[in-house]
């Protein structure tokens, strides 16, 4: 299984809910997606980023299918303009 974790620092933290809503549209896009959870920072709790995505895929092929899916590509293009930075960690479990 492959874990795919992505974290974003936004130009305007007030866009976090809209950003998360766009991410949520990618849930269940491809076979082999086992987990998909998008979250925004909680006021009063420690955070260095504004939005996080924690997802899991059966294998590298399922992750690649997700990354190349037209909906994901479109969402990524929209969200790219809202972010200040993006950090990714993919790892095998």
Residue 53 counted as domain residue: yes
Q: What is the pLDDT of residues 18-65, one digit of tens each?
A: 999 999 999 999 999 999 999 999 999 999 999 999 999 999 999 999
Whole domain around residue 18: which residue ranges?
A: 2-88
Q: pTM here? A: 0.94
DSSP characters over 11-72: SSGGGHHHHHHHHHTTTT-STTEEEEEEEEPPTTS--S-SEEEEEEESSHHHHHHHHH-HHH
Three-point CA angle 45, 51, 56, nearest 5°:
110
CATH code of the domain covering residue 61: 3.30.70.100
Total domains present in the chain: 1
Residue 93, pLDDT score: 95
Residue 93 counted as domain residue: no
Residue 37 counted as domain residue: yes
CB burial of residue 13 (10 Å; 0-12, 13-18, 19+):
middle
pLDDT category, 12, cuts 50, 70, 90? very high
């Amino acid at each position: 299984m492959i874990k795919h974790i992505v974290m974003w620092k936004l130009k305007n933290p007030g866009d976090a809910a809209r950003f998360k809503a766009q991410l949520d549209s990618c849930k269940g896009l491809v076979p082999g997606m086992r987990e998909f959870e998008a979250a925004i920072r909680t006021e009063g709790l420690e955070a260095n980023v504004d939005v996080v995505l924690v997802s899991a895929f059966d294998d590298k092929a399922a992750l690649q299918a997700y990354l190349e899916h037209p909906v994901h590509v479109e969402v990524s293009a929209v969200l790219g303009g809202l972010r200040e930075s993006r950090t990714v960690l993919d790892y095998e479990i």
